[in-house]
C-alpha cells in the first residue's frame, strides 16, 4: 500500500465575492424598533447589512463568488480537485452546497463536501484545504463561504436584526513550493453552545449578545497571537488583520489587543453586516481590491462564532 505524495506547501491563488444588491440600513431598523440610526451605529459600528433577494440563495451566491475566485486565480473549473463549502444556513440538508455549487460551475469530477463551523467556518475550510493539498489528496481546492442569514432572523428581535447580513466569499487553494497558508490554531467550547443557536421550535437564530461580546473580546486575541507564533510571524510583519466581521466594536477591540499598529484592520462589516462564514473572504477581497493590501503581503485571519468555535491562521495575500 502506498500513501499519496503531497506538495511542500499550499497557497491562496485568488479570492472571489458576491454581495446582494439589497441592503437594510440603520434608518429602516431604527424605524422598526423605535431607536435612532445613531443608536444602531454606536452599538454595532454598522451602517447597513446586505440582504439577499428572492433569487439569492446560499448556492447561487456561493456559485457567483466561486466563479469570481476562479477567474481571479486563472484556474479553469476542470482543474479543481475538491470543493469545500462552509455554511450554517444551507436551505436543505442534502445535497451538499458544495455539490450543487460544483454542478453550476461545470465541475463534475471533484470531491465535494460541506463544513459547518458557523462564523469560523471559512478559516476551518482553508485549513482543511491546505492540509489536503500538503497531504496529496488534492492540488486545487475551491473553498466557498456562503450565508443567507436573513432566512433565520426574527424580524422582531432587535439583537439579531441589527447584526446579520447575507453574502458569499470564496478562495482557491493550490499546491505551492513554499508555504502561503500558516498552521491553523483552532478549537471549540461546547459549553457555550446556547450563546448562539437556531431554535428548532421557531427556526430563528437566538444570540446572547453581551456574553458573546465578552467572550470574543477576551478569549480570541490570544488565539490570533498564537497563530502568528505558529507561523513564525511577528505581528509587526502583518499587513492586515482580518477578523470575522461579527460587530465592529468586537473587531476594533480585538485588533487593539493584537497590537499590530502598522496593519490595516478589515472593517467590511460597516456596510455588509455579519455574514458569518462569508465575512472573512469578503473583507480580505475588499482590502486587496481597494489597494489597502498587496499581493504577497501577510494577513492574519481570525474566525469565531457559534459552537462556540474559533480558528486563526496567517496567510500570504494572493
Give the mean pLDDT per block of 10 residues along the chain (318 residues). 82 98 95 94 95 97 98 97 97 95 96 97 98 96 98 93 97 96 97 90 89 93 97 97 96 93 94 98 98 97 96 98
User: Annotated catalytic residue: which of 72, 116, 228, 244?
Assistant: 244
Tell me phi and psi for residue 286, to 5 degrees. -65, -40
pLDDT of residue 71: 98
pLDDT of residue 209: 85
Which three three-digit cell numbers place residue 293? Answer: 493590501
**Residue 316, CA distances (Å) to 121, 128, 210 in order:** 19, 17, 34
Known catalytic membership, residue 123: no
pLDDT of residue 313: 98
Known catalytic membership, residue 221: no
Known catalytic membership, residue 116: no
Q: Count other C-beta atoms under 10 Å from residue 195's C-beta.
A: 20
pLDDT of residue 79: 97
Round to whole Å and give the CA distance between 177 and 188: 32
Packed helices 209-219 and 248-258: angle between N→C axes, nearest 10 degrees: 20
User: Annotated catalytic residue: which of 26, 116, 247, 274?
Assistant: 274
pTM, rounded to two decimals: 0.95
Place of cell 470574543: 216
List pLDDT tens digits, range 293-318: 999 999 999 999 999 999 999 999 99
User: Annotated catalytic residue: which of 26, 88, 116, 119?
Assistant: 119
Round to whole Å and give the CA distance between 298 and 226: 15
Q: Which domains does the chain have, with CATH numbers?
A: 9-176 (3.40.47.10), 185-316 (3.40.47.10)
Cα-based angle 48, 53, 55 (whole degrees, multiple of 5):
150
Packed helices 221-231 and 209-219: angle between N→C axes, nearest 10 degrees: 30
Count of residues in the chain: 318
pLDDT of residue 166: 98
Amino acid at each position: 500500500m502506498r500513501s499519496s505524495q503531497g506538495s511542500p506547501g499550499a497557497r491562496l491563488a485568488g479570492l472571489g465575492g458576491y454581495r446582494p444588491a439589497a441592503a437594510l440600513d440603520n434608518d429602516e431598523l431604527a424605524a422598526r424598533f423605535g431607536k435612532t440610526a445613531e443608536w444602531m451605529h454606536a452599538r454595532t459600528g454598522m451602517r447597513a447589512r446586505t440582504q439577499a433577494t428572492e433569487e439569492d440563495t446560499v448556492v447561487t451566491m456561493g456559485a457567483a463568488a466561486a466563479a469570481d475566485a476562479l477567474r481571479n486565480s486563472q484556474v479553469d473549473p476542470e482543474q479543481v480537485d475538491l470543493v469545500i463549502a462552509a455554511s450554517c444556513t444551507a436551505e436543505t440538508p442534502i445535497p451538499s452546497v458544495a455539490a450543487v455549487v460544483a454542478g453550476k460551475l461545470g465541475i463534475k469530477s471533484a470531491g465535494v463536501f460541506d463544513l459547518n463551523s458557523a462564523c469560523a467556518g471559512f478559516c476551518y475550510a482553508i485549513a482543511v484545504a491546505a492540509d489536503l493539498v500538503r497531504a496529496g489528496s488534492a492540488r486545487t481546492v475551491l473553498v466557498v463561504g456562503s450565508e443567507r442569514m436573513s432566512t433565520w432572523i426574527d424580524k422582531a428581535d432587535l439583537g439579531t436584526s441589527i447584526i446579520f447580513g447575507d453574502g458569499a466569499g470564496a478562495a482557491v487553494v493550490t499546491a505551492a513550493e513554499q508555504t502561503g497558508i500558516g498552521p491553523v490554531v483552532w478549537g471549540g467550547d461546547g459549553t457555550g453552545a446556547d450563546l448562539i443557536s437556531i431554535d428548532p421550535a421557531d427556526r430563528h437564530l437566538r444570540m446572547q449578545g453581551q456574553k458573546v461580546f465578552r467572550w470574543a473580546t477576551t478569549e480570541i486575541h490570544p488565539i490570533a497571537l498564537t497563530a502568528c507564533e505558529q507561523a513564525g510571524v511577528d505581528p509587526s510583519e502583518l499587513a492586515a488583520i482580518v477578523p470575522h466581521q461579527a460587530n465592529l466594536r468586537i473587531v476594533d477591540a480585538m485588533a487593539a489587543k493584537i497590537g499590530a499598529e502598522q496593519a490595516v484592520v478589515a472593517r467590511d462589516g460597516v456596510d455588509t453586516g455579519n455574514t458569518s462564514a462569508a465575512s472573512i473572504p469578503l473583507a480580505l477581497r475588499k482590502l486587496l481590491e481597494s489597494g489597502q493590501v498587496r499581493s504577497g503581503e501577510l494577513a492574519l485571519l481570525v474566525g469565531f462564532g457559534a459552537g462556540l468555535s474559533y480558528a486563526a491562521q496567517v496567510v500570504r495575500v494572493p
